[in-house]
Amino acid sequence: MSRTLVVWCADWPVAAALGEQGLPRHLPAAVFAQNRVQACNQAAREFGIKRGMRRRDAQARCPEVQVLAADDARDARVFEEVLLRLEELRPGVMPLRPGLAALRSPARFYGGEEEAGAAIAECVVGLGIWDVRIGIADELFTAEQAARSAGLQETYAVPADGGSTAFLRALPVHVLEDANAVSLLQRLGLTTLGGLADLPGADVKARFGAQAAWVRQVIHGEGARPVTGRTPPPELATEVAFEPPLDSAEAVCFSARQAAEGFVKGLAARQEVCTEVRIEIVMEDVPDAVRTWAHPRWFSAADLIDRLHWQLAGVRTGSTGPARKGGAVMTVRFVPEVAVSEAVHADGLWGGTDERVNRGIARVQGLLGHEAVVAPVVQGGRSPRDRQAYVPWGDRPSTLRDRTLPWPGSIPPPAPARVLADPWPAEVCDQAGRPVVVLPRGGLSGDPARYRPAAGSGSAEPWQRIASWAGPWPVTEAWWEPSAGRRVARFQLVGVDGRAWLATFDTDHWLTEASYD
């Protein structure tokens, strides 16, 4: 029976983020999710950073740590290149998660298990991934634990015919993925998987869960998972070569039209559409022009030719970088970055957005640059200004703050209709004409009676009486930074004229932040 080989790229979320941003891999870095360390590399662990640590604690231990955002899509996308290289050496690769993959051991082809592990490690290192470890065993779970026990760029081969049981029994219980089961086992004094294996099977499942019961079966030589290789993804990229190279943008677009139609038809045959495409233009004597375009819906052949024409115009005029004179076009390649089911973007019962609007906006984006045209989106935050975010047109938001979190101190709905770009200085007085202030313990010096939304010089806003008001909603922002920390309290004020405002008392003065319709 063939043995199982597992490839483990340690600290993969960090390695993927550093590689995509072009940062050196030796820098201390950590991936954060909800301001807690999700993963960190060895350089960061040397400073005492570990998983689950708060962001401010990690930066206190190492101020130079690279702060990277968690992105599951990025981790899977970057790991796809590793899978493709592994499939060149041994078909039938089984991806377990980003950074971890299994395949049947090609020991006979390379002359031994150590030699096979060395060849695969060399292949992965060739992609610039230095921390790779190989494990080989009779079945999948044991091979994964062997890979985690191997040294840097080394292979750990568990002996066949009974070696797996002895290897697993010596492992600590924290290799289980169920944190509750690990905690219970440790409190019962069971520190190794050998102690778990000695317990009755029915009691293990009832007390510690299905995952612990399955591991116990593996130790006893049962319940092994087979390696089922994935079906390699089809080659969806389409390219067209020009011989001789073409100088005219119109000639390039006309000649690439058939390739664009074939690109769209190839996706349609799989019942998919492309929402994000990378257009690569290979030119003579100058660097390649590569750009990724996004579409609010999906790309048609005409859309691809439009983007190609705009990209060529931007390259020649320098709007997307330094102007490139000369350089005839040798090859044009369309590469789908994001392909989704066509059912996701099917037209609704009453139609959809006018395609001319989308094409017009994309045209402006092609002329001014990808970041020049943005769309507003709502994210989590306390103030209306904090809840605003802008993303380039066609891009999908990926680093927004979670709107479902509590956000203590935030104002209740409904949200204001207009948020001022620059808050107006305001004034609030009580019935006796004295300025209203918020006391240190959150109380008011008096009930608001009159309000002036804009108190700056030359302002046309007069004083008006307050018909009703709500608040305060106090919050201390950035209290850990003495220079940036401030105490604010927000109020909703409604004047007798029917207009409603969101006013803020900031330390010692009033501001008008937004207005309601």
Looking at residue 133, its pLDDT comes to 93
Looking at residue 445, its pLDDT comes to 86
Average pLDDT of span 75-93: 87
Residues in the chain: 517
- 101: exposed, middle or buried (Cβ count in 10 Å: 0-12, 13-18, 19+): buried
How does residue 136 score in pLDDT terms, banded at 50, 70 and 90?
very high
Q: What are 154-207's pLDDT values in tens digits? A: 999 998 877 888 898 899 988 888 888 888 888 888 888 888 888 887 788 888
Residue 318 has pLDDT above 60, yes or no: no
Higher pLDDT, 299 or 345: 299
The C-alpha atoms of residue 270 and residue 263 are separated, in whole angstroms, by 12
Q: What are 15-37's pLDDT values in tens digits? A: 999 988 888 888 899 999 888 99
Strands 66-69 and 94-97: unpaired
Given the structure tokens 């439009």, which residue do they identify? 306
Q: What are 446-462's pLDDT values in tens digits? A: 889 888 888 765 556 78
Q: Are 105 and 114 in contact (CB under 8 A)?
A: no
Q: Hey, what are 324's tokens?
A: 């490139």
Average pLDDT of span 75-81: 87
Short-list 265, 180, 309, 162, CA closest to 221: 162
Please provide the distance, in angstroms rounded to a whole number, between the alpha carbons at the two ends of the chain.
Answer: 73
The C-alpha atoms of residue 514 and residue 517 are separated, in whole angstroms, by 10
Average pLDDT of span 62-67: 91
Looking at residue 323, its pLDDT comes to 45
How does residue 358 score in pLDDT terms, banded at 50, 70 and 90?
low
| Mean pLDDT, the chain, integer | 83
Residues paired with residue 331 on neighbouring β-strands, in sequence order: 241, 282
**Amino acid at residue number 243:** E
Strands 388-392 and 155-157: unpaired
* Alpha-carbon distances of 35 from 138, 252, 292, 396, rounded to whole Å: 40, 48, 30, 21
The C-alpha atoms of residue 318 and residue 491 are separated, in whole angstroms, by 49
How does residue 322 score in pLDDT terms, banded at 50, 70 and 90?
very low
What domains can be seen in the chain, in order of their start residue?
A: 4-157 (3.40.1170.60), 163-219 (1.10.150), 238-368 (3.30.1490.100), 418-516 (no CATH)
Q: What are 369-415's pLDDT values in tens digits? A: 667 788 888 888 888 888 888 887 766 666 778 877 878 778 777 88
